[in-house]
Amino acid sequence: MGSVQLDSTEPHPIVVLNLSCNGAMIQAHEPPQEGAVYRLEFNVHRRKYDLPFKVIAWVQERDNYGWRGPFVDLSPEESQALDRAVAAATGASKGSLRDWAELTAESQGNPAAKIVIGQTPAGHDIEVAGADVLQMGEEGTELYARLMSELETM
């Protein structure tokens, strides 16, 4: 689910049917304006995207319209974040875990603080209290990071 908006008009609800780091295919309840660049808003893995989207083709099926096109003028950060989210959603990427020696040293130095132990496939930080890292040990911390990464792809 998401929305599409042209200039200062009211946003219209859409369904994202297909998504890549380069563009999307959506279902709308109206035809697009030829050659217009829309704002396409949607969420992937708890991150909101609001991207410029140019419709290059569309079809009508009864009361529904299928639009497809590329994202245009994305910043390198937007492109990288979207690429990570798409890879995570398709299961093409895995989470990461920091080096155990670094985690141990940071946790011992500040057991009450939240420690970033790794990242999910979509790039979200996985945080655990330093004392909990020490209590779980290397295997438990790795298992927790893997679980958090797998939950993101469900």
Q: What is the pLDDT of residue 154?
A: 60
* Higher-confidence position of 91 and 62: 62
**Does the structure show a pLDDT above 70 at 20?**
yes
Q: What's the half-sphere exposure (Cβ side, CA atoms, 13 Å) at 152?
A: 30
**Does the structure show a pLDDT above 70 at 153?**
no
What's the whole-model pTM score? 0.67
Cα separation, 142 vs 118, whole angstroms: 9
Name all domains of the chain by residue range, CATH numbers in brackets: 2-89 (2.40.10.220), 96-152 (no CATH)
**Does the structure show a pLDDT above 90 at 95?**
no
Hey, what are 112's tokens?
């009450």
**Best CA proximity match to 22, nearest among 96, 80, 98, 67:** 80
